[in-house]
């Protein structure tokens, strides 16, 4: 478990690095530093990503030094409107194509009991895939709500896209370690087959579930469910 965790979270180091690079590139090469508002925005993004990167490194170090075979999450009540808007802006910034991401949180103050770092990583993975597996532009919807199922109350987070979709025969395997959905000649879609494996591993450590529905040519919908205390 420790080895899998280290491999997966090392994979997650790429996102804050890519976002911070994109922000500094905009400041240095596209004259964004001349605009005080944009300069402050990009510098704030860099600061947030360095903080996130620091958190990931701390997670790796703590796992490396942990002699016990237990895995502990640092659970807290996380307000979704605190983490999702900046996360969405970061993915728009680092994308190599036009991206539109809508966000709906009902109720507005909706929370989830989760480890903040791992929750951010899970959502980042789903957004990253939604962008990667869209064609010329990405049209993504993120919705968060309370729902009830079998007399249990859940916080549900859905990430939907209108991308290339996933074939029915591939769906049972997409959460397997190192599995990548065949994309024909789309060699530009990079990855290691660790992202969804990480998401499934972490949501299960939180006592929750992940579900996916998809249709080739029409897009995919990933749904995370966290039990409410």
Q: What is the mean pLDDT of residues 112-118?
A: 92
Q: What is the mean pLDDT of residues 184-204?
A: 70
Structurally, at CATH architecture level, domain 2-227 sits in 2-Layer Sandwich (3.30)
Tens-place pLDDT, residues 142-166: 999 999 888 889 999 999 999 999 9
pLDDT beyond 50 at 46:
yes
Predicted structure pTM score:
0.71
pLDDT beyond 90 at 141:
yes
Cβ(164)–Cβ(150) below 8 Å:
no
Q: What is the mean pLDDT of residues 102-117?
A: 95
Residue ranges covered by each domain of the chain: 2-227
pLDDT beyond 60 at 31:
yes
Q: What is the mean pLDDT of residues 176-204?
A: 70
């Amino acid at each position: 478990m420790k080895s899998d965790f280290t491999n997966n979270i090392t994979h997650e180091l790429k996102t804050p690095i890519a976002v911070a690079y994109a922000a500094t590139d905009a400041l240095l090469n596209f004259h964004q530093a001349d605009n005080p508002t944009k300069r402050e925005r990009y510098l704030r993004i860099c600061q947030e990503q360095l903080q996130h990167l620091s958190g990931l490194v701390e997670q790796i170090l703590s796992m490396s030094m942990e002699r016990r075979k237990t895995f502990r999450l640092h659970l807290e009540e996380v307000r979704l409107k605190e983490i999702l808007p900046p996360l969405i802006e970061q993915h728009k910034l680092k994308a190599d194509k036009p991206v539109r991401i809508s966000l709906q949180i009902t109720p507005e103050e909706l929370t989830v009991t989760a480890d903040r770092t791992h929750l951010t990583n899970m959502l980042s993975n789903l957004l990253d895939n939604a962008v990667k597996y869209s064609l010329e532009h990405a049209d993504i919807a993120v919705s968060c709500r309370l729902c009830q199922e079998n007399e249990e109350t859940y916080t549900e987070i859905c990430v939907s896209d209108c991308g290339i979709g996933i074939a029915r025969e591939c769906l049972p395997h997409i959460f397997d370690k190192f599995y990548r959905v065949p994309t024909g000649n789309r060699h530009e879609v990079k990855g290691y087959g660790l992202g969804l494996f990480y998401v499934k591993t972490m949501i299960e450590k939180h006592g929750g579930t992940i579900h996916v529905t998809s249709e080739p040519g029409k897009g995919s919908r990933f749904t995370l469910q966290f039990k409410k205390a």
